[in-house]
Amino acid sequence: MRPIKLVALTSLDGGVGKTTLSAVLAVAKGYTLVVDADWEKADLSQLFRAPRKPGWLAPFLDGKSIYIHKVSPWLYVMPGYEAAELFMRRGGDVLGDLIEALLEWAEGAPKFVSKLRVPVDTVVFDTTAALPLDVLAKLQKMGAFNVFVADRRLISRISDVKAEQYRQYITYSALAVINMLERDELKMAKKIAPIALKHVKMPAEYYGPAVANAVLRDRENKKSVENIVMRIKTA
């Protein structure tokens, strides 16, 4: 079995299309297990229509076996409903525990995948926005390919404080992506980040493969996504 690649999609701000990009990368690359580690929303679980069964946090809560949702023979999703429900109930009181569980999963994911015998060679973590910098540093040290996702705010007039925050997040990333841009913003964006993706109209059907296909139908977006996939494969 080939070595398991770890990919973490991170962001400073919410609403930058990080979950959508996680879905697009998983569909475009294939042979991928996506972990819904965005405990503020669990949108990825819903995007792939994963049933409300025990997900990545279950072993830490009640020791239940984890349910792996099979989207296709080359794409699997680990739900994150328990994490989202716990964070909704208790907020910042459980943040440290959730982060610790996330890091434990990142470290143990290769062994878990080998034991589970699912045909994947990549584990993608769709994380919550504004993870602490020390968490990004730990993920980087574990060998995770950190993809920092921003939107047009990164190319707008921003304060020095905000600019420094962006700089720090990009420092702990292997790749920066500016997402959901209008066509006239692409040229400026590519001067700041190597990958830029255009905003596209989402399909009426809220389903992972359909959303991914809508993004990939755009020729420039497809080329950019293929670039990301190639960087992950060769990292």
Tens of pLDDT along 150-163?
999 999 988 999 99
Positive or negative: CA dihedral 126, 132, 138, 143: positive
- Helix, strand or coil for residue 163? helix
Taking each helix axis from N to C terminus, what angle separates 160-171 and 133-141, rounded to the nearest 10 degrees? 20
Mean pLDDT of the chain: 96
Domain 5-234 carries which CATH code? 3.40.50.300
Looking at residue 127, its pLDDT comes to 98
- Helix, strand or coil for residue 149? strand
Q: What is the pLDDT of residues 53-99, one digit of tens each?
A: 999 999 999 888 999 999 999 999 999 999 999 999 999 999 999 99
Q: What is the pLDDT of residues 120-145, one digit of tens each?
A: 999 999 999 999 999 999 999 999 99
Across 223-227, average pLDDT: 98
Q: What is the pLDDT of residues 75-87, one digit of tens each?
A: 999 999 999 999 9
Query: How many Cβ atoms from other residues are within 10 Å of residue 109's Cβ?
Result: 22
pTM for this entry? 0.96
